[in-house]
Structure 1
Amino acid sequence: MRPYEKNPQAIYAESFATVRKEARLDRFGPGMEALAIRLIHACGMVEVADRLAFSDGVYAAGQAALQAGAPVLCDCEMVGAGIIRRYLPAGNEVIVTLNDPKVPGIAAGIGNTRSAAAVELWAERLEGAVVAVGNAPTALFHLLELIDEGAPKP
């Protein structure tokens, strides 16, 4: 066998160093840079940095929401599982509603995907929450539709 790194701390440090070396991070402020690095590390694609869209103040708003105990609403189990709970500052609840038994019926009723229907179940927790969308664009699009219709903003 080839020699390979076995020390978890060294592997972790090296993987983040590789992200910093290979990704174009110059357009991000300190908070967004850290978030971009985590996203790249999670998916293994440095080009994610070139595709991230965000608004001014979003990092500070998300950080403040988490500090205040806001829940993290996720579009799918994969995203929810990827959140390292010990890093959440206030024991924040991570909520994934995709597998709720009501979702198929809601999806049929709204004529959309299960991912979009799962967003309907966020209503009571949406205001001030942090939303993490991974692989379900219909969840994001439906959330934007609901906000356009007057739903509270996360």
Structure 2
Amino acid sequence: MTEFILEPGQIEMESMRIIRAGLKRPWLDQEYPVVERLIHTSGDPSLEQVIAIHPQAISCGLEALKKGATVITDVEMVRAGIAKEKLKLLGGSVECHLNDPEIAQQAKEWGITRSMTAFRLHPERLQGAIVAIGNAPTALLEVLRLAEQAETRPALIIGIPVGFVGAKESKDLLWERQDIPSITVLGTRGGSPLAATVVNALIYTALREG
């Protein structure tokens, strides 16, 4: 009969040991927490090959968090997965405007998605924020459009929408924008749990560093 590790801390330590031992790319020390958490959350070691981290992404994300930056998400599922109490210790909070009362009607009038509308109606919230997108490629496209102006440019974009219509293409556009610090998973894979886990990796790193 197989013997299972039952102690939670031991399970996590062993998971991280296995993940670290299997890594094939030469990551920087500051990138390991993000890479390891993405693989841990997905359960997929092959994900390493499509993780893309901008050279300034980690430092810009940590700096923003230590200053109490707001994290803005495209959907409630990303918001739900973020360690909000830990973020609060840094002076930050999480926002998602997708279900604000005016969004549905305005999206219908403009002929665009609700997730896109949520960002378009609150552009002032983006400056210096961390944007975490795990579901909607259209939201990522809107954030990239708004980020062309300094007054609506986030400190970091975590863009990991999932799917077969626009997800890969929107992430390719994000990665082409090397003027904006970003973290993404190229291709069709992604999702809310991955976007949230990147935010959490940064939160916990910021708390450790103080």
Give the aligned CA root-mean-square deviation in angstroms: 2.2
* Deviation sequence 1:12-47 (CA, Å, 0-9, x none): 212222322333341x22222211222222232323
Give TM-score, length-normalised by structure 2: 0.64
Residues 85, 91 of structure 1: 8 Å contact kept: no
Is 2:59 aligned against 1:60? yes
Pick which of 118-127 and 93-102 moved more: 118-127
Alpha-carbon distance in structure 1 between the residues aligned to 2:42 and 2:110: 31
Deviations 1:44-84 (A, max 9, x none): 23233222223221211110000000101111122112212
Moved over 4 A (4+): none
Change (3 A) 1:59 1:122: farther
Q: Which whole-Å CA distance do the structure 2 matches of 1:16 and 1:105 have between them? A: 46
Can you give the 5+ residue segments of structure 1 that lack an aligned partner in the other structure? none
Q: Which residue of 1 aligns with 2:80?
A: 81
Letter aligned with residue 57 of structure 2? V
**Which residue does the alignment assign to 1:98?**
98
Q: C-alpha distance in 2, partners of 1:81/1:50?
A: 27
Whether contact under 8 Å (2:74, 2:133) holds in the other structure is yes
My pick for the range that moved more, 3-12 or 137-146, is 3-12
CA 1:96–1:11 in structure 2 vs 1: closer, same or farther (change >3 Å)? same
After the TM superposition, which of the residue ranges 58-67 and 90-99 deviates more from structure 2? 90-99
Deviates more, 1:52-61 or 1:136-145: 52-61
Contact kept? 2:75, 2:98, Cα under 8 Å: yes
| Partner SS state of residue 53, structure 1 | strand
Unaligned runs of 5+ in 2: 155-210
Q: CA distance change for structure 1 residues 80 and 24 in 2, over 3 Å: closer, same or farther? A: farther
Count of aligned residue pairs for this structure pair: 153
Cα distance change on mapping 1:82 and 1:16 into 2, 3 Å: farther
TM-score normalized with structure 1 length: 0.84
Per the alignment, residue 42 of structure 1 pairs with 41
Matched, 1:6 2:6: yes
